Amino acid sequence: MNTLIGLAAVLLYMLVILVMCLQAIFNIRLNLFIWEKPENAWLNHAPTIYRDPRLSFTLMLPARHEEGVFQRTIQKVHDLNYPKELMQIIAVCRVDDPGTIVEAQTIIEQLGDPGVQLLIFNDYPINKPHGLNLALQVARGDVVTIFDAEDEPHPDILNVINTTMLDEEVDAVQSGVQLMNHNTRWFCFLNVLEYFFWFKSSMHFFSRVGMTPLGGNTVFVKRELMEQLGGWDENCLTEDADLGIRLCLSRARLRVIYDDEYVTREETPYTIGQFIKQRTRWNQGFIQILLKRQWLKLEKRSQRLLAFYVLILPEIQAFFALLVPVSLAMLVLVKVPLWLAMFSFLALYCFALALFIDLVGLHEFLKAHQRKWSWREACVLVLAFFPYQWLLALSSLRACWRAMRGLTNWEKTPHVDHASGR
Amino acid sequence: MTFSSRQAPDEKVQSDSEQPRHIQPATRRRFTPARLPDPGAGLTSNSSPDPDTDPVFSASASFSEQQPGPHRPLLGGKLSLPSKPLLPRGKLSLPSKPLLPRGKLSLPSKKNGPRLHPALQDVEQQETRAIPQFSPPTLLATENAGSRQSGASDAAADAALEPRLWCGPVEDAAGVETDEALEVVNGHVVLYRQANFSVHTVYRPGQKLYPLRKPSGYTSRMARVMPHQRERVAVSQTRRMPRVEMRETRRSLTLPVPLWLESAALLLLLAGAVYLHAYNLFQFPGYTMDEGTYMQNAWAITIGKLSPYPYGYGHPPAGWIQLALWIKVSNLFRFGAAINSGRIMMLAYSAGGTLLVYLIARRLGGSKSAALIGMALFASSPLSVILQREVLLDNIATFWLLLALYLIVVSRSRLLYLAGAALALGLAVLSKEVSAVLLPALAYLAWLHITPFQRKFALVTFTYITLAMISTFVLMALLKGELFPYAWHLPWDTHPHLSLLDTYAGQIQRGQNQGSFLESWRTWWQEDAPLTCAGLAAPIFNLLYGWRERKHLALALLALSYWLLLARGGVVYVFYLLPLLPLIALNVALALHVLLGWLSRLARLPAARAVLLLLLLSLLLPYNAIGAARQASAQPVAAQQQALSWVRAHLPRNAYIVIDTYMYLDLRQPANDGANLAPVFTRAEVYWNVATDPSIRDGVLHNSWNNIDYLVVDKQMLDDIHANTPAFTILQAALVHSTRLASFHARDYFGDITLQIYQVRHQNTPLVRAGPTKNDAQTRW
């Protein structure tokens, strides 16, 4: 009996290690997808010769308590190189946020452009998708898009999207979003790289499989399509990912562009607390989407599997991150056979490979943005690798806990002067 | 009743799917009369902001006319799009005809309907400027304007509920309206107001306002979109072009050879090579200590140990783990002696290696005839025919090295291939650690075969995987607590043990007394002078030519780095040449390809290169093959087999026999000796371990030669016993006190083989006796 339990424990342990390795390897594959073959290099291309502006855009700027940056954001969006007649900028605020409203009104007054509009709503729920849905009602552009309050879109982004949408028969374009403050806090390195790999590489894999959880901003969707889809899901905490899955369900043609030049620049959350809150919201949103079970309607098994993987990933990662110390402790404390000990190290080897890939990613990121490589930063990245996983694990557990408690309120992540509209 | 908002998307979807989805100026989303009732379809015009033709803007323009103040032309002039009216005018004119086809729906008149923004009211009057797609009026249109008119309270309620566009202050019950209808809050005009939200923008008198559009309603339906995602073609380019050009070797197509002919020639040559290697495989060359060691280790793996004696980290165990897999699949004694089984496996490895040499040379040089030369050189050299038969880790490692090389060469810059190559390379190093010296040159070759766009990630992945695999060897020692020498007395070291660092420190300090480079060189020269000569000349040529063609440089570096390892001054056995053989063959093939290419260009005969190569092949092949076959026809194994049979027939089963490794498995495992099951000698021990392993020498034998019963010795054993005085004293003493029982002799190409069997003359009864074994009943002692 004892041996039977022991055997079962060993088998379970091996299974966990195996799943861990497979997950790590698959994750590495996602991260390296764009570098897998030379042909994949062209997937990210943005046009350089622009067509004449033809599509009109409605740019939605949802904001809440963004007094510090909102004027600048509106100014930046208004300054985009595109005919102003073809741009409608809708700042979305709630009536209980007078500070931001005043800021918006001030800049609207300064700009003196009736294309810049302020939408003030007073009902519930108080969240981003609701504001967006209201803005969608009054949007007049051919294409709707969202920019968050702290975003810095590239001045030519609308020309790029205009050209792409005219040249290629696409219904939606996800342009790259990139966190830029890679070295402000210790967790910033990995957060920045996460964005880097996610938008530059993984998105293309998702797009190839046909299951694309979109990013929260710089997503350009044809307004008609957006209306047919019925707007954003107001009950979902990650309406962007939900929208992506629904776009895939309706077989929308999606194009992913990540050109280092044209990325929309963002900032990481300012403190660990905010970072965890932001992650918690994302993870909880993923749990919501998972439980909404719309992804089960995806046609192919590969799509469903990928959807399940992406949605459940935070929980898996949390589980693994918690398991690593346990596994190490077991190696030290429990006398295990040599082969089993070696087998457990397989997972560690996979993690180390991911770490090295991250280091190379850092180098690539710095080169793309003409920044200097620093060995000190590389060391910080290496040291932060496992603590970062635990941060993710913590936010994932917190998300599970909140989901079970039924807490679905919008935990906004305010920044000090870098506030985000989420 | 207003338009039901749920109706709108339905109609729109339908009309959308009917329309072509091409995005063309002024044709896309042109509105047809049929779509007029659709309130959502109104303001999607994207193309023509011409104030004269675009109703969207004409509405705003008319608004500006009414307002006092300077006219600010925010629009127009910037876009050069055809100023065609969007719609046939005849059909759509306002307001003499109802705006909407359905009779019920008409724009409310200025007096009676809900109040419109002055701009909209103006629109009504502009008969010539049709604005069918300007939906805000339709938003406010009611099915029955009259009923609304009559019930003032109704109107008020509706006004509160319905979205109103361009609305001024809410109309009072009496329907009195003010002329200045624009709702201005804090200097901002309210464009749109609903119960739950409002849209504001800047207010400048005389400013053109853009229209808004009506809500689509919230649904969860799936949009119907044409699934052409995969067919789309990206015609765009970026400013920062990724560099994805590959280094492809030009194929020399002087002789167009069909695939079947090529395959046939290849198969024929391959079959010849296999035959040459299999010829007299079990009789030549004589079993050696190394072969026996690896076979006994492989057998130990099958029972869950790394070696039958304490594992000393001499070599990583991956090589004999592969052997173990093979003997698990086949049977240890299926081919006679245990070593024969291993030799079959070596045959497979050498056949695979031969094929890989051809494929690599063909891809690198782009020439089939050169590839054939390389393959023939590799397969038929007497050196390879002799050495590749032996169960040596070098043979295993060579195969994996070639596989890594092949995967790099055919990768066409695919990351997966490079990862595979790294795995193969790691396995090669784990099979025989010296393969690691080729890592830099192989990394350079990988660098050449990967595009600059992927290079950083690919090389890090490649190097990491290789090093990670190698590191598992160190990890194993660490986990077993045998990495650091016991002499360091680390806190957790409680008992003496072997150590990886000790072993490798010893190997580095090892002198040349066991085998020197020059001695081995003499053997190589004697066996195959042309190959040995070319083995230096071809890499040097390629090194120079590498200035022009980097792939030649990489190949030259591969061969030269291994030559350097051999020439560094450490121990060099004859079989250390093994990994170098395919590298030499490849270098020769590519160098000949280039040289003869020059020659044929000089002679202006493009086909001369291939013809000359094939001619060379037809000379080389018989010369090599005949020489190799002549050597391989000796039968030295006969003596060893006779000795084995004699031991089985004459010695007692619980006797303490000191043997060489190649007899170990045959004596200790129940082998089939002809028809009968051979006896098992549980106390047969390998001489090296008897002399050096403290647990045997001091533990079992109490360091007394008297406890040894028999010795089966050959020449190398005798040399070892006499050369290592302090450790081997016990065996020296045993030999001194023994009588020769039998002697077996056989001719070998390298010198004759002699095996002698000695019986120790015991001074007194041996102290050490094994406990009763299973065989005790049959003991003939």
Query: What pLDDT digit, counting tens, does each position of A301-356 carry?
Result: 999 999 999 999 888 888 887 887 787 787 778 777 888 888 888 988 998 999 99
Whether the pLDDT of residue B58 is over 50: the answer is no
Closest chain B residue to A135, measured at CA:
B199
| Secondary structure of residue A81 in the 3-state scheme | coil
pTM value? 0.79
**Which residue among A38, A114, A260 sits closest to B240, beta carbon to beta carbon?**
A260
Mean pLDDT of B227-234: 34
Per-residue pLDDT at B313: 86
- Tell whether A346 is within 8 A of chain B (Cβ): no
pLDDT band at B208 (very low <50, low <70, confident <90, very high): low
Q: Which of A37-51, A194-208, B356-370 has the lowest mean pLDDT?
A: A37-51
Residue B690 has pLDDT above 80, yes or no: yes
Q: What is the pLDDT of residues B532-551, one digit of tens each?
A: 899 999 999 999 999 988 89
pLDDT of residue B549: 87
User: How far is residue A10 from each of residues A14, A42, A316, A341, B595, measured CA to CA in Å?
Assistant: 6, 46, 20, 11, 61
Residues of A in contact with B212 (CB under 8 A): 138, 140
Task: Give residue B126's pLDDT.
Answer: 38
Q: How many CA atoms lie within 13 A of B626 on its CB side?
A: 6
Would you state the pLDDT for residue B425? 96
Average pLDDT of the residues in B702-711? 88
- Burial label for B58, CB within 10 Å (0-12, 13-18, 19+), is buried
B residues 244..303 contacting A (CB < 8 A):
244, 246
- The whole-angstrom distance between residue A274's C-alpha and the CA centroid of its chain comes to 16
Among A67-81, B199-213, B606-620, B633-647, the range scoring the smallest mean pLDDT is B199-213
What pLDDT is attached to residue A379? 93
Q: What is the DSSP string of B30-96?
A: PPPGGGTT-GGGTT---S---TTT-HHHHHHHHHHHHS-S-----SSSS-------SS-TTT--TTT
**Residue A260 near residue A254, CB atoms below 8 Å:** no
Q: How far apart are CA B667 and CA B428, in angstroms?
A: 31
Which tops the pLDDT comparison, B43 or B509?
B509
Mean pLDDT of A211-235: 86
Confidence check: pLDDT of B119 > 60? no
Q: Which of A337-346, B559-568, B588-597 has the lowest mean pLDDT?
A: A337-346
B18 touches chain A (CB under 8 A): no
Residue among A90, A259, A341 minimizing CB distance to B479: A341
**Chain B residue at shortest CA distance from A52:** B79
Contact A41 B197 (CB under 8 A): no
Size of interface A-B (CB pairs under 8 A): 261
CA distance A225 to chain B (A): 6
**Contact B378/B582 with Cβ under 8 angstroms?**
yes
* CB proximity A328 to B under 8 Å: no
Contact status of A231 with chain B (Cβ, < 8 Å):
yes
**Phi, psi dihedrals of residue A48, rounded to the nearest 5°:** -110, -25
Rank B30-34, B412-416, B515-519 by mean pLDDT and report only the highest.
Answer: B412-416
Does B499 reach chain A within 8 Å, measured CB to CB?
no
Residue A140 has its nearest CB partner, among B80, B212, B476, at B212
Residue B84 to residues A407, B27, B105, B161, Cα–Cα distance (Å)? 56, 10, 28, 38
Q: Residue B219 and residue A86: Cβ atoms within 8 Å?
A: no
Is A37 within 8 Å of chain B by CB? yes
Is residue B477 within 8 angstroms of chain A, CB to CB? no
pLDDT (0 to 100) of residue A221? 92
A129 interface with B at CB cutoff 8 Å: no
Q: Tell me how close the Cα of B743 comes to any Cα of chain A, in angstroms.
A: 44
- Give chain A positions within 8 Å (CB) of B199: 90, 117-120, 138
Highest mean pLDDT, choosing among B362-371, B395-404, B713-722 = B395-404
Q: Using the beta-carbon criterion (under 8 Å), do A52 and B21 form an inter-chain contact?
A: no
Confidence of residue B351 (pLDDT cuts 50, 70, 90): very high
Is A282's pLDDT higher than 50?
yes
Give the residue with greater pLDDT, B260 vs B778: B260
Confidence check: pLDDT of B529 > 70: yes
User: What ranges make up the beta strands (E) of B184-226?
Assistant: 184-185, 188-193, 197-202
Strand-strand pairing, A219-222 and A172-175: antiparallel
Tokens of B119: 């701009």
Q: Where are the alpha helices (DSSP H) in B415-516?
A: 415-431, 439-449, 452-479, 500-509
Q: Across the interface, do B212 and A360 touch by the CB < 8 Å criterion?
A: no
pLDDT tens-digit series, residues B276-330: 999 889 988 889 899 999 999 999 999 888 889 888 888 999 999 999 999 988 8
Residue contact A45–B13, C-beta within 8 A: no
Q: What digits encode the pLDDT tens for the residues B718-767?
A: 888 888 777 788 899 899 999 999 999 988 776 788 999 999 988 776 65
The better pLDDT of the pair B58, A206 is held by A206
Average pLDDT over residues B511-521: 74
* Chain B residues touching residue A53 (CB < 8 angstroms): 79
What are the chain B neighbours of A84 within 8 Å (beta carbons)?
74
**Which residue in B209, B225, B458 is closest to A252 by CB distance?**
B225
- The pLDDT value recorded for residue B505 is 81
* DSSP-derived pairing of the beta strands B184-185 and B188-193: antiparallel
**Min CA distance, A14 vs chain B (Å)?**
18
DSSP H or E segment with residue A140? none
Please give the Cα distance from B99 to B536 (Å, whole number): 94
Quote the pLDDT of residue B528.
Answer: 85
Residue in B with minimal Cα distance to A164: B236
**B328 to chain A, closest Cα gap in Å:** 18
Could you say which of A171, A230, A357 has the minimum Cβ distance to residue B218? A230
Residue B59: per-residue pLDDT: 36
Quick check: B25 contacting A, CB < 8 Å? Answer: yes
Top-confidence residue, A409 or B113: A409
Cβ contact, residue pair B210, A54, below 8 Å: no
What pLDDT score was predicted for residue B360? 94
Partners of residue B476 in chain A, C-beta under 8 Å? 338, 342
pLDDT at B417: 95
What pLDDT is attached to residue A414? Answer: 53
Instruction: State the Cα–Cα distance between residues B404 and B421, nearest whole angstrom.
Output: 4
Q: What is the pLDDT of residue B137?
A: 34
Task: Inspect the interface and report whether the beta carbons of A83 and B78 lie closer than 8 Å.
Answer: yes
**Contact in structure between A262 and A46 (CB atoms under 8 Å):** yes
> Cα A76 to the chain's mean position, in Å?
22
Task: Name the residue of chain A whose CA is nearest to B224's CA.
Answer: A250
How big is chain A, counted in residues? Answer: 422
Say what the pLDDT of residue A268 is: 86
Contact map slice: A 186-225 vs B, CB within 8 A? 210, 223-225
CA-nearest of A59, A69, A209 to A146 is A59
Q: Is B461 on the interface with A (CB under 8 A)?
A: yes
Where is pLDDT greater, at B26 or A109? Answer: A109
Nearest to B237 by CA among A196, A174, A259: A259
| Euclidean distance between CA atoms B119 and B166, whole angstroms | 8
pLDDT higher than 80, residue B370:
yes
According to DSSP, the residues that pair with A120 across neighbouring strands are A93, B198
Give me the pLDDT at residue B591, please: 93
pLDDT at B479: 86
Taken as a whole, chain B contains a residue count of: 781
What backbone phi and psi angles, to 5 degrees, belong to A340?
-70, -40
The answer to whether B465 contacts chain A (CB < 8 Å) is: yes
Please indicate whether, in this complex, the C-beta atoms of B196 and A134 are within 8 angstroms of each other: yes
Task: Search chain A and give the residue with CA nearest B200.
Answer: A118
Q: What is the pLDDT of residue B210?
A: 56
Q: Given pLDDT bands bounded at 50, 70 and 90, which one contains residue A33?
A: very high
A96 lies within 8 A of chain B by CB: no
Q: How far is A270 from chain B (nearest CA, A)?
A: 30
Interface check for A111 against chain B (CB to CB < 8 A): the answer is yes
Mean pLDDT over each residue of chain A, to the nearest integer: 87
Lowest mean pLDDT among A219-223, B10-14, B205-209: B10-14
Of the candidates B57, B75, B196, B30, the residue with the CA atom closest to the CA atom of residue B122:
B57
Contact A85 B23 (CB under 8 A): no
CA end-to-end span of chain B: 117
| Residue B292 confidence (pLDDT) | 93
CB nearest to B237's CB, from A45, A83, A254: A45
pLDDT-based confidence at residue A89 (cuts at 50, 70, 90): very high
* Phi/psi of residue A87, nearest 5 degrees: -120, 135
Q: Is B182 left (phi over 0), alpha (psi -120 to 50) or beta?
A: beta
Average pLDDT value for chain B: 73
Determine the pLDDT at residue B510.
66
* Per-residue pLDDT at A193: 93
CA distance A131 to chain B (A): 9
In this model, does residue A415 exceed pLDDT 80? Answer: no
Residue A360 touches partner B, C-beta closer than 8 Å? yes
Q: Is B188 touching A (CB cutoff 8 A)?
A: yes
Contact with chain A for residue B16, Cβ under 8 A: yes
| Contact criterion met (CB below 8 Å) for B756 and B740 | yes
**Mean pLDDT score, B172-178:** 38
pLDDT at position B190 is 81
Q: Is A395 near chain B, with CB under 8 Å? A: no
Lowest-confidence range among A144-153, B150-159, B588-597?
B150-159
Question: Residue A56's CB: how many other CB atoms inside 10 A?
Answer: 28
Name the residue with higher pLDDT: A39 or B243. A39
Percent of chain B with pLDDT over 90: 28
Q: What pLDDT does B512 receive?
A: 56
Q: What pLDDT sits at residue A349?
A: 92
Least confident of A125-134, B198-207, B309-318: B198-207
* 3-class SS of residue B720: helix
Would an 8 Å CB–CB cutoff place B410 in contact with chain A? no
Q: Which residue has the tokens 């490692």?
A: B397
Number of Cβ within a 10 Å radius of residue B153: 8
Residue B110 CB burial class (10 angstroms; 0-12, 13-18, ≥19): middle
Nearest to A36 among B57, B220, B416 (CB): B416
Q: Which helix (H) or strand (E) holds B313?
A: none
Confidence of residue B694 (pLDDT cuts 50, 70, 90): confident
Quick one: tokens of B634?
A: 């000796």
- Whether residue B76 is predicted with pLDDT greater than 70 in this model: the reply is no
- The answer, for A364 touching chain B at a CB cutoff of 8 Å, is yes
Mean pLDDT of B103-119: 38
pLDDT band at B603 (very low <50, low <70, confident <90, very high): confident
